Amino acid sequence: MTGLGTRKELMIFTAIIAVMGIAALAAFQISGPMSIEKRFQNALGISGDCGEEPEGIGFLGFSIEGQPLLYSGIVCGLLILCYGAYRQFRI
Amino acid sequence: MAHIHLEDGSFTLFWVVVWWAIALVLICAALIWVRSAKKTDNRKITLAAFCTAAAFAIFQVSIPLFGGVHLNLTPLIGILVGPAIGSFVVLIINILSAAIGHGGWGMIGANLIVNVIEVVVAYMVFRALKNVFPGAFARGGIATFASLFCGNLAMIAIILISEIQGVTQSKSQILAGLSLLAGLNMGVAIIEAVITGMIITYILRVRPDMLESERP
The pLDDT tens digits for B16-49 are 999 999 999 999 999 999 999 877 788 889 999 9
Are A75 and A42 part of one and the same domain? no
Quote the longest CA-to-CA distance of chain A: 53
Please list the alpha-helical segments (H only) found in A1-67: 7-31, 36-44
Which residues between 5 and 34 in chain A have a beta carbon less than 8 angstroms from any beta carbon of chain B?
5-6, 9-10, 12-13, 16-17, 20-21, 23-28, 30-34
Chain pair A-B, CB pairs under 8 angstroms: 223
pLDDT given for residue A66 in this prediction: 83
Locate the chain B residue with the closest alpha carbon to A15.
B142
Is B17 within 8 Å of chain A by CB? no
pLDDT given for residue B28 in this prediction: 96
Give the single-character DSSP code of A8: H
Torsion of CA B9, B13, B16, B19, to 10 degrees: -150
Are A40 and A58 part of one and the same domain? no
ipTM: 0.87
**Nearest-by-Cβ selection for A13 from B45, B142, B188:** B142
Locate the chain B residue with the closest alpha carbon to A49.
B7
> What average pLDDT does chain B have?
91
Judged by CB atoms closer than 8 Å, whether chains meet at A20 and B145 is answered as: yes
pLDDT in tens, A8-64: 889 999 999 999 999 999 999 998 888 888 888 888 888 755 445 555 567 777 888
Can you tell me the distance from the alpha carbon of A15 to that of A10, in angstroms, rounded to the nearest whole number? 8
Judged by CB atoms closer than 8 Å, whether chains meet at B137 and A3 is answered as: yes
pLDDT given for residue B212 in this prediction: 74
Q: Which residues contact A50 (CB under 8 A, 6 or more apart)?
A: A41, B7, B9, B10, B166
Four-way CATH pick for B13-214: 3.40.228.10, 1.10.357.10, 3.30.590.20, 1.10.1760.20: 1.10.1760.20
Spans of all domains in chain B: 13-214
Judged by CB atoms closer than 8 Å, whether chains meet at A70 and B99 is answered as: yes
Among A37, A88, A82, A36, smallest CA distance to B51 is for A82
pLDDT given for residue B216 in this prediction: 67
**Nearest-by-Cβ selection for A75 from B53, B64, B187:** B53
User: Between residues B193 and B37, which one has the greater pLDDT?
Assistant: B193
Are A19 and A39 part of one and the same domain? yes
pTM above 0.95, yes or no: no
Nearest-5° Cα angle at B123, A20 to B126: 65
Domain assignment of residue A29, given as a range: 1-49
Q: Could you give phi then psi for residue B38, rounded to 5 degrees?
A: -60, -45
Can you tell me the distance from the alpha carbon of B187 to that of B168, in angstroms, rounded to the nearest whole number? 28
Locate the chain A residue with the closest alpha carbon to B5.
A37
Reported confidence tier of residue B208, pLDDT bands at 50, 70, 90: confident
Q: Name the region of A48 (left: φ>0; alpha: ψ -120 to 50; beta: rest).
A: left
**Nearest-by-Cβ selection for A23 from B137, B159, B187:** B187
